[in-house]
Chains A and B, each alone.
Chain A
Amino acid sequence: MQIIFDKVNYIYSDGTAFSRHAIKDISFTINKGEFIGLIGHTGSGKSTLIQHMNGLIKATDGRIYFNGQDIYEKNYNLRSLRSKVGLVFQYPEHQLFETTVFKDVVFGPANLGLDKLECELRAYEALKMVGIGDDLLDASPFELSGGQKRRVAIAGVLAMRPEVLILDEPTAGLDPRGRDDILEKIAYLHRESGMTIILVTHSMEDIANYADRLFVMNRGELVMQDKAKAVFSHYKELEKMHLAAPQVTYVMNALRDQGFQVSTDATTVEEARKELLGLLQR
């Protein structure tokens, strides 16, 4: 068990008139190598929650364990935690600043105090993982397309070789192909390196394709943690929380409501296709 949250609470501006209870009594366990999808309405506490995972925000109350160690213990090395738990913020390309793509990615590992050769090796490897070719290494990051910039920014975090990669809406504002490219790259990383992935998203169709488990946040509480199918079967509750299920889930449920014998747990086009072909051939 890689990450354990035990009754974690966070209150912004605690003790003042503006205090706001952003996350409430959150407990969960994430295993090594899992792919977790984190969904919830705007303001539900997703971003606050993930910033606890690498110690950027300290819980008002509760315990967090990483690889069995309490990260709030006195001698715990938070710096090393941050290199093990990589966090890619929303619109990470706004943080690109170097003159070339390669230099930008080297910046992260260089801050870990590694020697130059090692930094460059890691940067090269990270850029390769996100599909940035050799021809772009010397380009200015500002000349790239939106999707490319974002992949460079992700490479900057990967070059730290984290054990856990957290991404906050990595596909916002990208065109559908750019979105699929990024998600495919993340799925590839997960498969090939066994990295634990935590993906925050508003796209139910996307997350249904990739995540092992979904965490659902609502008004600061973790209200569901289960397999995607199980979560999306509660689509009516999800709607009350300002969320939704993938479109195909609605198709299957509508058919079931009309009296057809179909299983309603399809969440991807492929699953729905199989189920519907079965129905139509009966």
Chain B
Amino acid sequence: MEMIKVKDLSFEYIRRDEDGNVESINKAIDSISLEVNKGDFIAVLGANGSGKSTLAKHINAILYPTEGGVWVNGLNTAEDRNLWEIRQTAGMVFQNPDNQIIATVVEEDVGFGPENLGVPTEEIWERVEQSLEAVGMLEFRNSSPNKLSGGQKQRVAIAGIMAMKPQCIVLDEPTAMLDPNGRKEVIATVRELNRRENVTVILITHHMDEVIHADKVFVMERGRVMMEGTPREIFSRVDEIKKYRLDVPQVTELAYELKKAGVDLPDGILTVEELVEAIKRIKSR
């Protein structure tokens, strides 16, 4: 069953001058079709300006299609009456944690979402507790968000979304402002939610090492999907991915260079462990 269905989607940013005449049209999304199944972990890669964020904003109806359509759990995003249900189904996490946290105490911040949905008070507290537990931040429930690290703040932001019980979370570069440890925390949290709570995840990122565990990767350029496949399939095409202004994890690049120099390695090595194992196998022959 699909969680998200995008069919022939196009979106144009239209700029008008002072008199309302059209000055320029920028096609940010150019007839994309794709499907995301329930419970999948999807990653979207692409250069700045390739249309990743524009696509993400269609998934919870912040933007509406110029052409084509988007369905979230079967609901058409172009229909106004579906709006609230869509926003409850697909939650969004943005780049800067400081822009997403509004309360002075962690648990109040997490409770803000369900409160707005009209959830009964008792259930709000239950949800707050569950979501903070799920992102591993329960012990900070009474802290001030100011005192948290970047990674911790981002986990609180994710808990705030989880408390609305979405079936799907869209994360738009959630680790861009974090240190290596903060990045690890956030990605591990998202993977856990996907595995344990079966939340569908759509992760937009510029960090190649964060997508190696995804079920599927989409690579975008100029508003189109250019590559689609498992991380291993995508990252074994090193030259092609670099053409789209992207990169591969450092260890994948190392394996690729060794292969070019004649070493007999499998395609698309993604982790340090895989490379070490492959080298061990060669040496023990």
CB pair B47 A177 closer than 8 Å:
yes
Kindly specify which of A21-29, A95-103, A268-276 makes contact with the partner chain: A268-276
Tally of A interface residues using CB under 8 Å: 39
Asked if B3 CB lies within 8 Å of chain A CBs, one says: no
Whole-angstrom distance between the alpha carbons of A250 and B250 in the complex?
Answer: 11
CB pair A202 B180 closer than 8 Å:
yes
Whole-angstrom distance between the alpha carbons of A204 and B151 in the complex?
Answer: 18
Write the chain A residue with the least CB distance to B247.
Answer: A176
Task: Kindly identify which residue among B179, B181, B245, B258 contacts A277, using a CB–CB cutoff of 8 Å.
Answer: B258
Known contacts: A41-B179, A147-B48, A176-B206. The answer to whether A246 contacts B250 by CB under 8 A is yes
B136 shortest CB reach to chain A, Å: 15
CB pair B273 A280 closer than 8 Å:
no
Whole-angstrom distance between the alpha carbons of A205 and B249 in the complex?
Answer: 10
Hey, what's the 0/1 contact readout for A243-282 against B, CB within 8 Å counting as 1? 1101110110011001010000000011011001101100
Write the chain B residue with the least CB distance to A150.
Answer: B48
CB pair B48 A146 closer than 8 Å:
yes
Known contacts: A173-B206, A248-B250. The answer to whether A254 contacts B283 by CB under 8 A is no
CB pair A260 B283 closer than 8 Å:
yes
Hey, what's the 0/1 contact readout for B173-188 against A, CB within 8 Å counting as 1? 1001111111100000
How many B residues touch the partner, as a band? 35 or more
Q: Which residues of A contact B208 (CB under 8 A)?
A: 176
CB pair A42 B48 closer than 8 Å:
no
Whole-angstrom distance between the alpha carbons of A254 and B250 in the complex?
Answer: 15
CB pair A276 B258 closer than 8 Å:
yes
16 new A-B contacts, CB < 8 A, other than A42-B178, A173-B206, A243-B181, are: A40-B179, A42-B149, A43-B150, A172-B176, A173-B95, A173-B177, A174-B206, A175-B206, A242-B180, A244-B181, A247-B249, A251-B275, A269-B254, A276-B263, A277-B263, A279-B279
Q: Give residues in B with beta carbon < 8 Å to A.
A: 46-50, 95, 149-151, 173, 176-183, 206, 208-209, 242, 245-247, 249-251, 253-254, 257-258, 261, 263, 272-273, 275-276, 279-280, 282-283
Chosen A-B contacts, 10 in total, with CB atoms closer than 8 Å, are A42-B179, A175-B48, A176-B245, A177-B245, A242-B180, A247-B254, A247-B272, A251-B254, A255-B279, A277-B263
